[in-house]
Structure 1
Amino acid sequence: MGCDELRARAAELRAQGRSRAEIKRVLGLASDWRLTELLRGVVPESSALRGNAKDDLRDKARRCARKVARMPRSRPSWESPSRRCRCGCATCPGKDG
């Protein structure tokens, strides 16, 4: 079976209410990652098959993750102000010791 055929079959099984374990077994997949890729964008019909996190908590976690990703990183130790010479550069050969 090609990738498109597998994706269509996985979506069909998911629409029938099958669990991830059942779909994996029926399609003969060995990898959870492969199953995840095949089911990307396919929403389970039954609410019992959804993830455990509540929608509002999941949204909050995503917002927090985006916020952390936008935070500036700290400077490496060789760029810290205490390691600069009097002229303010980090590469001047006339650094104070």
Structure 2
Amino acid sequence: MFEKLTSKFFGLDDEGWMRHANPWSGWMRVPCLVLLVAAFWSRVWLGWYSAIPIAAILLWTYFSPRIFPKPKSTQNWASKAVLGSNAPSNHVHLQRRQRDGKAAFAKFSH
């Protein structure tokens, strides 16, 4: 359920996941959590100005899967990790398609 909501929020269809599987996209998102925590932590010194790095990191997290092209190959660690994170939602989708396909086949086989 959570995977479906995040995919819907980020607008990642199959094309979006392939673009996100670009190693540059994956590696550029690795420091986001640390930077986000540092930005929240810096609110003590920066006050409301800490909203600037927070907004920048959140925008980068949202737009990162969209700005990189599809990878030439997915035979690398970063691409496999990104595509593997999509596997649970793909598994449910494939099960549903398989079930629907069996039902359609049963309907026409009689």
TM-score in terms of structure 1 length: 0.27
TM-score, normalising length: structure 2: 0.25
- Tell me which structure has the larger Cα radius of gyration: 1
- Structure with the bigger RCO (C-alpha within 8 Å, sep 6+) is 2
